[in-house]
Amino acid sequence: MVVRWIAERAVKWVLIALAFSALASLLLIAVFIFKEGVPFIVRVGLKDFLLSSEWDPQAGRFGVFAMIVASLCVTFGAMIVGAPLGVAGAIFLNEFVSRRITRIVKPAIELLAGIPSVVYGFIGVVAVAPLIREHLGGPGLSLLCASLILGVMVLPTIMSVAADAISSVPNSYREGALALGATRWQSVRMVILKAARSGIVAGVILGLGRAVGETMAVIMVAGNTVQVPGSVLDPVRTLTTNIALEMGHATGLHRQALFATGVVLFVVIMILNALTMAAMKRGHAGK
């Protein structure tokens, strides 16, 4: 009994230590980024840093407004592609096909999440970008190309979370709607989707976070030009690609500017995570 009690206590403290180590790692990353980036923002000025579109480290100009706009445009473009397809796929797999087909198709779709992002970028360069260039114009490597590739990349995340949310809706909701004379689609639209709304929103926000933080595929397909996009066919540079492209050779003030860019990205991701947690809490409260 004594040995068992000691083993249980040991396991308990090991798990507590692991949990706190994860929190400590996150805290250290945040402290490091803010320690390196905030002094630069104070030195340059928040207005000049966030609202200027001029990025020329050699000339001492560090404005990230164009990259913030590009990041938001690419992200929301990806969500326009991925969110409707993900939610529609989740509805189809849960409500309109047999369980046998669902058990085959759902794992196959989730395998998309395991494909390296460089592979998606390669497909964008050799297949999607030439199609855009030939049929729509522009250089091909553009905001549109990045949005399409990211839309496919976030699809498994959104579909998986949305499917789980829809499948958790009690069958009594479906049976009650059908008993009242609703068609299958009416029961889905007016009952199932409303009951699973919080979980679906959480999936969309998780996909949004994945799109904001993606780097390698966007480097390959976005064109990497620092400008406020006037069209979906314009090449752009996002916050993540700017850090990845320039951190290897940056020194001094330039390096601090990239850390300040990381601060902006960190804040955006934390806001998205907060929205995700709020959506999940509302979903649990609704149940």
In terms of domains, do 147 and 249 share one? yes
User: According to the model, what pLDDT value does residue 280 have?
Assistant: 62
In terms of domains, do 147 and 282 share one? yes
In terms of domains, do 54 and 82 share one? yes
- 43 token code pair: 């030195």
Q: Please give the mean pLDDT across all residues of the chain.
A: 86
| 214 vs 273: which has the higher pLDDT | 214
pTM of this prediction?
Answer: 0.83
Write out the residue range of the structural domain in which residue 6 sits. 2-44
User: According to the model, what pLDDT value does residue 59 have?
Assistant: 82
- 107 token code pair: 């794992």
Quick one: average pLDDT of 8-29? Answer: 83
In terms of domains, do 64 and 139 share one? yes
Distances (CA, A) of 234 to 73, 251, 264: 11, 30, 23
In terms of domains, do 18 and 86 share one? no
Q: Output the CA torsion sign for 262, 264, 265, 266.
A: positive
Model confidence at 268: pLDDT above 70: yes
> What is the crossing angle of helices 252-286 and 239-246, to 10°?
140
In terms of domains, do 274 and 149 share one? yes
In terms of domains, do 156 and 204 share one? yes
Indicate the pLDDT class of residue 72, thresholds 50, 70 and 90.
Answer: confident
Model confidence at 98: pLDDT above 90: no
pLDDT per position as a tens digit, 103-141: 888 888 878 888 888 999 999 999 999 999 999 988 989
Q: What is the CATH number of the domain that holds 114?
A: 1.10.3720.10
Model confidence at 286: pLDDT above 60: no
Quick one: average pLDDT of 52-56? Answer: 87
Helix or strand holding residue 62 (H, E): strand 61-62
Burial class from Cβ neighbours inside 10 Å (0-12, 13-18, 19+) for residue 94 reads buried
User: According to the model, what pLDDT value does residue 121 have?
Assistant: 92
Q: Which of 48-52, 226-230, 280-284 has the lowest mean pLDDT?
A: 280-284
In terms of domains, do 19 and 71 share one? no
In terms of domains, do 145 and 104 share one? yes
- Indicate the number of domains in the chain: 2
Model confidence at 149: pLDDT above 90: yes
Residue recorded with tokens 């250089």? 139
pLDDT per position as a tens digit, 168-184: 888 888 888 888 888 88
In terms of domains, do 190 and 271 share one? yes
Residue recorded with tokens 């929301």? 76
Indicate the pLDDT class of residue 150, thresholds 50, 70 and 90.
Answer: very high
Model confidence at 143: pLDDT above 90: yes
Indicate the pLDDT class of residue 287, thresholds 50, 70 and 90.
Answer: low
* DSSP-derived 3-state class of residue 98: coil
Beta bridge partners of 61: 56
Model confidence at 2: pLDDT above 80: no
HEC string for 216-278: HHHHHHCECCCCCCCCCCCCECCHHHHHHHHCCCCCHHHHHHHHHHHHHHHHHHHHHHHHHHH
Burial class from Cβ neighbours inside 10 Å (0-12, 13-18, 19+) for residue 218 reads buried
